[in-house]
Amino acid sequence: MGILMKEALFLIPCCRAKRSGGDGSAWGEIFQRENHNKCGFLSNYRDELCGFYSCLSKEQAPEVYRGRGAGKSREEKVLQAWHKNLNIYKSPTVPAIERYCGSLYKSLEESTLERIRNHMIDNILIVSALLGLVDPMDLIPDYELMMQDMAPGNKPVWKYWAESFRNRETRETLNKIFSAFSSIFCFLSEATGYADAVAESLRNYDSYLIKSRKKGQRNIGSSWGQTLAHSVLEQACCPEEVKKIARLYNCELIAFHSF
């Protein structure tokens, strides 16, 4: 993190909705280059996951890609994920903030996006099922993965990352990142595995979950995006400030480890 250090760090989830294509180099060519990737300390884990999904057989796909409904629609979604991830290493890249296009990201005004692109807002990290942690301006591939999907070792992806974040060298780097902020605010779902992936890593920090009172994934994402945009533009730092902003968008602030 760098240019305008803030008192608060915001963790947001990746999303299934992604823009395809890209004009950056192929993921296999750049994923270990630090100038394209601020979280390069996770490269070995990313490589393990990418290698696993890019070599998966069609017969294995239904057991690996879970949480995609039932019946014909499930079959189609599983095959879509399987086919897309076969080409992860060859995928052209774009900045993460341009790749993800779910409701949270669509709720960010162009002025906010420009500040992120220009590194004027640099206190946001994205929790990604495939990549672990991503800076919004990191170049990333096109892919499809959910935290409930299966990772190497026959474990859910969220557990794979929770265990990876516990490894000594990874933990030391994460501690350097997290300790630079007085508070950490997480727009992460408890139901989908995103909160579980980082819960233990945040145990020793002043961390909070921002929960939307709205129903439906799209509405939840929108309320999160509005809260995030307002908070970073106001440079909200302390829990009371973020709590007041969250209430404006029908969200509430809960201590991460209070439940």
At residue 71, the pLDDT reads 78
- 229-257: pLDDT as tens digits: 999 999 998 999 999 999 999 999 999 98
Q: Show the low-confidence residues of the chain (pLDDT under 50).
A: 1-5, 259
Q: Are 214 and 223 in contact (CB under 8 A)?
A: yes
Q: How far apart are CA 182 and CA 114, in angstroms?
A: 25
> Among 105, 111, 110, which residue's Cα sits nearest to residue 228?
105
Fold of 8-22+94-255: Rossmann fold (3.40.50)
- What's the pTM? 0.94
Q: Give the list of residues 6+ apart from residue 257 with CB closer than 8 angstroms, or none.
A: 199, 202, 203, 207
DSSP codes, 6-54: -SEEEEEE--S-B----SSPBHHHHTT-GGG-TTGGGHHHHHHHHHHHH
* Residue 120 CB coordination number (10 Å): 12
Residue-wise pLDDT for 52-74, tens only, equals 999 999 999 999 999 787 777 99
Pick from 101, 125, 143, 144: which is nearest to 42 by CA? 125
76, 88, 145 from 80: Cα distances, Å? 6, 13, 11
